[in-house]
Amino acid sequence: MTDAAQKRLVSVTLDENSIGRGTADQEHERATAIYDLIENNSFSLVGHEGGPYELFIALHDAKLAFDVRDEKGVSIVTHILSLTPFRRILKDYFLICESYYSAIRHATPSRIEAIDMGRRGLHNEGAQLLAERLKGKIETDQDTARRIFTLVTALHWKG
């Protein structure tokens, strides 16, 4: 198996007991985020020669539990990620998304583009923070960190 084939996620599962089911729109956003993540990612555990991996995500208090498993579903390690450092970015991200969707209806193309640039900037900031919080535990490339952050936003989106 090639290195690229090993250093990747092959599945992502959300724990329904702790995360719960969302509305149809929320479930669609989550499924889309998971699909995009699985389709193209670079993911490996620091100091672990295995892979590919399965990721089981649970929510405990204000923390995400990333239970990384092998292809047979056997847990290798669980990393706990506090969401507290993400609060401001998530709040700002959702506010700018609301502005963006509102602007689509009646703003000029240049205004829409400016808002979208701000949205992408916040998304990049969230992905960078995620990568920093996982440093030394999980290695990802920037695009994978962005896709995981997209999933984190989908878990917190109210619809």
Predicted pLDDT at 1: 61
Highest mean pLDDT among 3-7, 20-24, 107-111: 107-111
Q: Quickly state the pLDDT bin for 124 (edges 50, 70, 90).
A: very high
pTM comes to 0.88
> How far apart are alpha carbons 103 and 113 in whole angstroms?
10
Q: If you average pLDDT over every residue of the chain, what do you get?
A: 91
Q: Please state the domain extents for the chain.
A: 3-156
Q: Quickly state the pLDDT bin for 159 (edges 50, 70, 90).
A: low
With 90 as the cut, is the pLDDT of residue 157 above it? no
Give me the percent of the chain exceeding a pLDDT of 90.
69
Tens digits of residue pLDDT in 112-122: 999 999 999 99
From start to end of the chain, where are the E strands?
A: 9-14, 43-45, 53-60, 63-69, 75-82, 138-140
CA atoms within 13 A on the CB side of 63: 11
The torsion region of residue 30 among left (phi > 0), alpha (psi -120 to 50) and beta comes to alpha
With 80 as the cut, is the pLDDT of residue 4 above it? no
Q: How far is CA 68 from CA 84, 136, 148, in A?
A: 22, 15, 14
Q: Quickly state the pLDDT bin for 21 (edges 50, 70, 90).
A: confident
Helix (H, G, I), strand (E, B) or coil at 7: coil
From start to end of 9-111, where are the E strands?
A: 9-14, 43-45, 53-60, 63-69, 75-82
User: Are 122 and 93 within 8 A, CB to CB?
Assistant: yes
* Strand 9-14 with 43-45, pairing: unpaired
User: Are 149 and 131 within 8 A, CB to CB?
Assistant: no
Predicted pLDDT at 3: 75
Question: 142-156 vs 24-39: helix axis angle to the nearest 10?
Answer: 170
